[in-house]
Every structure is written in C-alpha cells, then in structure tokens.
Amino acid sequence: MLESLLIIILLGPPGAGKGTVAQRLVEDFEVQHMSTGDMLRAEVSGRTELGKQIEDTVKEGKLVEDTLVSAVVKTGIDKIRTDGLPKVIVLDGYPRTEDQARSLSEFTGRDRKILVVVIDVPDEEVSARILGRRICTVCKKVYGSVEPGQRCTCGGELIQRSDDTEETVKVRLNTYHTQQAALSQYYRERVGQINGVGPINEVYKRVADYFLGLGIKKRRQ
C-alpha cells in the first residue's frame, strides 16, 4: 500500500507520446496527471495575468521562467494533497531544468518519493510525429494523425497546436537535449528507461508494466 506521495516524472522529447501515455495511465491506474504544457497553455488561452506574461515564450517554444512554472506545479500538488486525491502523481513536462528539480524536491517536503521514467525516441521520428499530430479543441485528446475533416470522438474540432511548427520543434528538441542530460544526472539512480519506438499501444504497455512493477494500484474496471 502506497501512502505517502509518489511522484513519477515522465521524461522524453516532445512527441515521444508522453501525453497519450499519461492519458491512458490515468484511465488504468489510480494516479493524477499534471502536464505543465497543458496548464501553461490554459493560462495563455484564459488570458490570465500569468498567461499574458508567458504567451510569447510558450508560442516560441522556449522555456518559461523556472519560478513561474514551479509556482504553478506547487499549487497543483498542494491541491491534490488537500483534496485527498490519489497519492501518485504523474508529472508530464516538469521538471525540465535542475533548478525546477530542486524546487520540486523542496516544496514536496520529505514525505514523498520521486522517480523518473524516460521514454526514448530518436529525433527524426519525433519531428515527423509532432508535425502530423492534432489535438481536440474541446477535450484535448491527442491524435497521431488524422484524415481531412476528421473530428474528435467527442465531436470537437481537431487542430494543430500553435507550437507544433517545424521551427519550434527544432528549438524544443535542442532545449530538451540540453536539459535532459542535467536532469538524468540529478536523478541518476532513480531513472527508468522505456523504449519509445513502435506503436503507441506497445510503448504504453511497457510503461504500464513498469507501473505495475512499482506496485501502483490499477483502477477497478
């Protein structure tokens, strides 16, 4: 029985399938998903003070300032703790820098464990995937590829994310490689590697097996 907070950091280049894997983990396991990309885009589209401040940075695919992102994540984790929700959190897109990793360790206190799962995919493959993917404007479900005129199963319109352009992908991949080396060093012995090449069902199964191995509870079907 896992009682204290367990934080699992999903790492991998943009387009590695982290979002899809996380969606399915939430369906199958008693976990909470937090994606900083989704949270920051929500701030931008909601025209909040923070949203206006970070809009250009997010659109250019550059990293938002550490203190701003860490504050957003801290608020989310504090809420999960006070609401008594499942105590396993899958963090997607955070931390991306060593400073963020240090903040996470600090604001989550001692009563927690942090593990890292890296989904490995070569650069050429992720670029092709990103440029083909579409996202639902309503439920945010991600599709790897779509037919012309196709809509989401919820009826929503499927669009390309504004930061999924060729220019931005290059910037995001470079940024990822620089930061990833530092993070893997920071978490060292707490890092698990998953092969992210192949159909998403297979990649997901590898991650799900890893979760089962950690003793994370499945939801009752």
Q: Give catalytic status of residue 112 as yes or no.
A: no
Instruction: Please identify which residue in 96, 129, 133, 134 interacts with ligand AMP, judged by CB under 6 A.
Output: 96
The single residue listed with the structure tokens 């957003």 is 72
Peptide bond into 148 cis (omega under 30): no
Backbone torsions φ then ψ of 116, nearest 5 degrees: -125, 135
Q: Give catalytic status of residue 161 as yes or no.
A: yes
Q: Give catalytic status of residue 47 as yes or no.
A: no
Instruction: Please identify which residue in 7, 11, 64, 116 interacts with ligand AMP, judged by CB under 6 A.
Output: 64
Asked whether position 100 contacts ligand AMP by CB under 6 A, the answer is yes
- The distance of Cα 23 from the centroid of its chain, to the nearest Å, equals 10
Q: Give catalytic status of residue 219 as yes or no.
A: no
Q: Which is nearer to ligand AMP, 72 or 152 (CB)?
A: 72
Site string for ligand AMP, 65-84 (x = CB under 6 A): ----x---------------
Q: Per the structure block, which two tokens stand in for 219?
A: 């939801």
Instruction: Please identify which residue in 2, 26, 50, 63 interacts with ligand AMP, judged by CB under 6 A.
Output: 63
Are residues 10 and 92 in contact, defined by beta-carbon separation less than 8 angstroms?
yes
Q: Which of 24, 87, 129, 133 is catalytic?
A: 133
Backbone torsions φ then ψ of 32, nearest 5 degrees: -105, 140
Distance CA 100, CA 203 (A): 27
Q: Give catalytic status of residue 133 as yes or no.
A: yes
The single residue listed with the structure tokens 């934080």 is 7
Q: Which is nearer to ligand AMP, 2 or 200 (CB)?
A: 200
Asked whether position 37 contacts ligand AMP by CB under 6 A, the answer is yes
Measured from the CB of residue 70, what is the shortest distance to ligand AMP in angstroms? 8
Asked whether position 53 contacts ligand AMP by CB under 6 A, the answer is no
Distance CA 18, CA 13 (A): 9
Measured from the CB of residue 116, what is the shortest distance to ligand AMP in angstroms? 14
Of 202, 203, 201, which is closest to residue 193 (Cα–Cα)?
A: 203
- Apex 19 CA angle, 122 and 14, nearest 5: 35
Number of residues lying near ligand AMP (CB under 6 A):
18
Instruction: Please identify which residue in 12, 13, 14, 196 interacts with ligand AMP, judged by CB under 6 A.
Output: 14
Of 66, 69, 73, 78, which is closest to residue 50 (Cα–Cα)?
A: 69
- Would you tell me which residues interact with ligand AMP (CB under 6 A)? 14, 36-37, 40, 57-58, 61-64, 69, 93-96, 100, 163, 172
Which sequence positions are flagged as catalytic? 18, 96, 133, 161, 172
